[in-house]
Amino acid sequence: MKVVVDIDIPFVEGVFEPYATVVYKKGDQISREDVIDADVLIVRTRTRCDENLLGGTSVKMVATATIGMDHIDLEYCASHDIYVENAAGCNAGGVMQYVFSAVYGIAARKGIKIEECTFGIIGVGHVGSKIEAMARYLGLNVLLCDPPRAIAEGPEKFCSLEYLLEHSNVVTMHVPLDETTRGMADETFFALMRPGAIFINAARGEVIDEQALVAAEPKLGAVVIDTWCHEPHINLDLLEVADIATPHIAGYSLQGKQNATTMAVQAVAKFFDIDALKDFQPHDDDPTHTPVLLDLKGKNHGEIAAVFQYNYPIFTDDFRLRMEPEKFEKLRGSYQYRRDIYYIE
C-alpha cells in the first residue's frame, strides 16, 4: 500500500508508516508521478485532484482534511471509482471564533453597538450553524439564508438572500463553492446590503467578485476577508480596503486541525480495513491545548470584545499579512494554531 500525504497536514506523520509506504510532499507540488502507483491521497485545498493528476494512476481514494471539496473533480472521481471523503465540520469551531473575534474587534474600534445588530448568515451548514448558535447565545437577532435547507426543511426558519442583505448589520458567508455560489457576492449583492453593514467572507474566495467588493467598500461599515481568489496571490486593492485581512486561517484552530486529521485517517482506515487506525485520535496530552470554556452571560459589549480578543487577537494575523502579503502561503504553513472556544449555556 502507498499513501501520498500533504506534508502540511498536522498530526499525521508516522501514523501510516506501519501499514504502508508513505510519501510526504507540499500540496501544490504533488504530481502524477508521485501518485502513479499510490492507493490513497490525503490532501488539503492546495492539491487539484482531477484527471491531470489522477488519470492512469492506481489511486482508489482521496481523503481531504478540509470541509471544502472544490479542489476535487468529484464527477471524474465518481466515474473512475475513486472514493472521496472530506472532513465535514472539522473546523467549524475555529471559523465561529474567527467571525466573532472580527465582529467584536471591529465594533470596539468603530463604536458599533453589537447588541443592536442583526446577524445575516449565508450558508447554514456546520459552520453557519455554529455561528448561529453563538449569535443566539449572545442575544443577537439572526437571519438565515440557505436555499437547499429551506427546500428540505421548509421555509419558516429561512429568508431570501435579498431580505437578508437588506436587513442585516453583519453579513457573513459560509457557503460551499459550486456553480450556484461562484461569484454570488457581486455588484447587485453589495448594492442590496445596508449602508454601514459589516461584510465577512470566510468561505471561499471565488464566492465573491473582489472588484465589486472593492467598489462597494465605501458604503460598508467594515470588510473582513480570510479567503481570496487566486490564492496564494491576493488582490492588493482588496487588501488595502479591508478592515481585517488574513491568509485563509479562519478555521486554523488546534481542535479543527486535530478533527480534520482524525476524520481523514479514520476514513482511510475504514476504506482499506486498517483496524488499528479505525479509532485513531491524535495524541496530545498538553493541558494548554484544551479548548477554552467561556462564560459570557451578563457581560457587556466591551467585556465580550476583550474576551474574544484575548483568546484570539485577530488583528495580529491581519498585521502579519499586511507586512508580507507575498508570503501568504508561508503564513498559513507556519501558523500557530489557536484553541477552540466553548461557552457556558
Say whether both 109 and 195 belong to one domain.
yes
Question: Tens digits of per-residue pLDDT, 106-143?
Answer: 999 999 988 889 999 999 999 999 999 999 999 999 99
Domain for residue 258, yes or no?
A: no
Same domain, 155 and 172: yes
Sign of CA dihedral 278, 279, 284, 285: negative
Residues 218 and 70 in one domain: no
The domain boundary, picked from 86, 111, 145, lies at 86
Identify the DSSP state of 231: T
Pair (150, 56) in one structural domain = no
Look up 162 and say whether it is catalytic: no
Torsion of CA 307, 312, 318, 323, to 10 degrees: 120
Q: Which of 204, 332, 338, 339 is catalytic?
A: 204
Report the percent of the chain where pLDDT is more than 90: 91
Q: Per-residue confidence at 253, pLDDT binned at 50, 70, 90? A: very high
pLDDT at 261: 96
User: Is residue 259 domain-resident?
Assistant: no
Residue 268 inside a domain? The answer is no
Looking at the structure, tell me whether residues 122 and 50 fall in a common domain.
no
Cα–Cα separations (whole angstroms), residue 74 to 27, 49, 177 = 18, 9, 13
304 within a domain of the structure (yes/no): yes
204 assigned to active site: yes
The CATH number assigned to the domain holding 73 equals 3.40.50.720
What distance in Å separates the CA atoms of residue 277 and residue 236, rounded to the nearest whole number? 44
Residue at grid coordinates 464527477: 75
What's the pLDDT band for 298 if we cut at 50, 70, 90? confident
For residue 218, is the peptide bond before it cis, meaning its omega torsion is within 30 degrees of 0? Answer: no
Q: Identify whether residues 128 and 105 lie together within a single domain.
A: yes
Give me the catalytic one of 80, 126, 166, 231: 231
Rounded (10°) angle between helices 301-311 and 92-110? 130
Active-site residue (options: 44, 46, 71, 248):
248
Cβ count within 10 A of residue 209? 20
Query: What is the span of the domain harbouring residue 49?
Result: 2-86
Nearest to 304 by CA among 94, 101, 99, 131: 101
* Confidence band, pLDDT 50/70/90 cuts, at residue 161: very high
Question: Is residue 274 included in any domain, yes or no?
Answer: no
Arithmetic mean of pLDDT, 50-56: 97
Nearest of 312, 190, 177 to residue 231 by alpha carbon: 177
Residue 204 has pLDDT above 90, yes or no: yes
Asked whether residue 276 is domain-assigned, the answer is no
The verdict on residue 49 lying in a domain is yes
- Tell whether 303 and 217 lie within a shared domain: yes
State the pLDDT at residue 181: 96
The rounded mean pLDDT for the chain is 95
Contact yes or no for 72/131 (Cβ under 8 A) = no
Q: Which of 68, 86, 104 is the last residue of a domain?
A: 86
In this prediction, residue 235 carries a pLDDT of 97
Largest pairwise CA distance in the chain: 61
Number of domains observed in the structure of the chain: 2
Final residue of a structural domain among 86, 110, 131: 86
pLDDT at residue 297, rounded to an integer: 86
285 assigned to some structural domain:
no
- Is 248 among the catalytic positions? yes
Dump pLDDT digits (tens) for 25-40: 999 999 999 999 999 9
Do 195 and 65 reside in the same domain of the chain? no
Predicted confidence at residue 219, as pLDDT, reads 97
- Mean per-residue pLDDT for 308-322? 97
Give tens-digit pLDDT for 170-187: 999 999 999 999 999 999
In a shared domain, residues 220 and 313? yes
Same domain, residue pair 22 and 157 = no
Confidence of residue 216 (pLDDT cuts 50, 70, 90): very high
Answer yes or no: do 75 and 179 share one domain: no
3-12, 163-172, 254-263, 278-287: least confident range: 278-287
My answer on whether 196 and 215 are in the same domain is yes
Q: How far is CA 156 from the centre of its chain?
A: 27
Residues in CB range of 157: below 8 A, 6 or more apart: 144, 149, 150
